[in-house]
């Protein structure tokens, strides 16, 4: 019990008579609560898990132990904790049962994130596909009516959704290759100043809503994969624009020190709650604010960005305040070659 690797508690009837620190920590109760008899595992069982719990109690009566199962406990502060719990009778007079409790919240959260991802992904794939279908039908109709000029106009409009689909499928492939560790990188000399200005120009062209300001220079070449590094900053700029509706500018600041180059991408948008700042680099993670949720995305971009930077021996961090904006700071080691 004292090893506290998992939660353990002992009950007599509905009353919890002993528990280790791990179980108290999970459920938010104190040792005083325990000693004062304020821990009743039936009261800690939400109504929708009652039937399943009673089934296990019958199994316990018949076999002296019950098969581990998934349930939730209501914690001291009223929040819910998903757990896997199993137990066995270890004393008969008075009858005591020892229960082993695994915190299942990380797995449940991942399951939820994957469910959300699948539903978002289907939606994100269907939207450009619907646009493609409409435009190709239009092309056919125009050709039937012998209006080649209008048909050509309709054909031009398929480029946008095709690019959108290409990007999405490309990101899905990147994520799966990164997971498998099979993404291949090129090693080449990269003029970062030129690359960043090229990206800023291209983004400015496709996103006239914001002014993209590039300040400073790094004045050094890196050794790395030019396209992949380009993907990093395209992604950061595109997020900066996407998550700052109504703002006028996004800024990219370049600087250099003895060993590293630093690129900061800064926006004046929605910002990210402090407790979620680390999580946004995880696969499929999206910030839970209702405002952010209305902006389409699949939570793959920053995972890909972080993996590419890691491969180049660099770092990425974020500094953000909700309602004020975010600054993503990327550092990359300078090449040792002269
Ligand atoms: P996507 O934008 O496709 O959802 P990302 O991996 O690029 O996926 O970003 C993960 C999450 O981080 C986003 O869903 C968003 O909530 C948050 N985020 C990323 N960049 C910004 C930003 N510049 N400002 C505010 N939130 C951001």
Give 202's strand partners.
none
Calculated CA dihedral for residues 235, 238, 242, 243, nearest 10 degrees: 60
* Predicted pLDDT of residue 5: 96
If you take atom 20 of ligand 1, which residue's CA is the nearest one? 239
Is residue 287 within 8 Å of 273, Cβ to Cβ? yes
Q: What is the pLDDT of residues 252-291, one digit of tens each?
A: 999 999 999 999 999 999 999 999 999 999 988 999 888 8
The SS3 assignment for 325 reads: strand
Q: Say if ligand 1 is within 6 A of residue 302 CB.
A: yes
Is the pLDDT confidence value at 338 over 60? no
CA angle (98 as vertex; 95, 100 as ends), nearest 5? 160
117 lines ligand 1 (CB under 6 A): no
Angle at 197 between CA 191 and CA 201, to 5 degrees: 145
Position with higher pLDDT, 201 vs 116: 201
Inform me whether the pLDDT recorded for 214 exceeds 70: yes
From 272, 305, 306, give the residue whose CB has the most ligand 1 atoms within 8 Å, as the site to mutate. Answer: 272
Q: Is the CB of 332 under 6 A from ligand 1?
A: no
pLDDT, tens only, 155-169: 888 988 999 999 999
For the CA atoms of the chain, what is the radius of gyration?
Answer: 28
138 burial type by CB count under 10 A (0-12 exposed, 13-18 middle, 19+ buried): middle
Q: Which tokens go with 60?
A: 């316990």
The Cα angle at residue 59 between residues 58 and 61, in degrees rounded to 5: 65
Nearest to 31 by CA among 76, 74, 73: 76
From the list 29, 56, 25, 54, the residue with the least C-alpha distance to 40 is 29
- Diameter of the chain measured on Cα atoms: 93
pLDDT tens for each residue of 167-207: 999 999 999 999 999 999 999 999 999 999 999 999 999 99
Q: What are 14-48's pLDDT values in tens digits?
A: 999 999 999 999 999 999 999 999 999 999 999 99
pTM over 0.85: no
């Amino acid at each position: 019990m004292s090893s506290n690797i998992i939660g353990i508690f002992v009950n007599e009837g509905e009353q919890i008579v002993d528990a280790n620190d791990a179980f108290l920590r999970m459920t938010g109760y104190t040792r005083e609560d325990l000693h004062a008899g304020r821990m009743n595992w039936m009261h800690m069982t939400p109504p929708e898990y009652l039937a399943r719990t009673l089934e296990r109690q019958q199994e316990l009566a018949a076999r002296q132990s019950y098969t581990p199962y998934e349930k939730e406990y209501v914690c001291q502060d009223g929040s819910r904790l998903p757990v896997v719990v199993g137990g066995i009778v270890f004393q008969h007079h008075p009858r005591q049962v020892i229960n082993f409790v695994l915190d299942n919240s990380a797995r449940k959260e991942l399951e939820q994130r994957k469910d959300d991802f699948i539903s978002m992904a289907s939606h994100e794939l269907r939207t450009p596909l619907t646009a493609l279908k409409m435009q190709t039908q239009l092309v056919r109709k125009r050709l039937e009516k012998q209006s080649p000029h209008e048909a050509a106009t309709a054909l031009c409009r398929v480029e946008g959704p095709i690019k959108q689909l290409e990007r999405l499928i490309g990101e899905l492939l990147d994520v799966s290759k990164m997971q498998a560790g099979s993404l291949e990188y090129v090693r080449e000399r990269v003029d970062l100043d030129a690359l960043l200005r090229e990206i800023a120009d291209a983004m400015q062209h496709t996103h006239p809503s914001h002014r993209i300001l590039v300040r400073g220079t790094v004045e050094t070449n890196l050794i790395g994969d030019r396209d992949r590094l380009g993907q990093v900053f395209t992604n950061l700029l595109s997020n900066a624009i996407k998550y700052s509706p109504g703002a006028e500018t996004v800024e990219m600041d370049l600087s250099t020190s003895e060993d590293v180059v630093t690129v900061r991408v800064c926006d004046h948008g929605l910002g990210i709650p402090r407790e979620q700042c680390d999580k946004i680099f995880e696969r499929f993670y999206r910030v839970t604010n209702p405002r952010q949720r209305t902006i389409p995305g699949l939570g793959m971009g920053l995972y890909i960005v972080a993996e590419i930077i890691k491969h180049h021996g660099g770092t990425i961090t974020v500094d953000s305040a909700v309602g004020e904006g975010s600054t993503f700071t990327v550092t990359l080691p300078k090449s040792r070659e002269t």
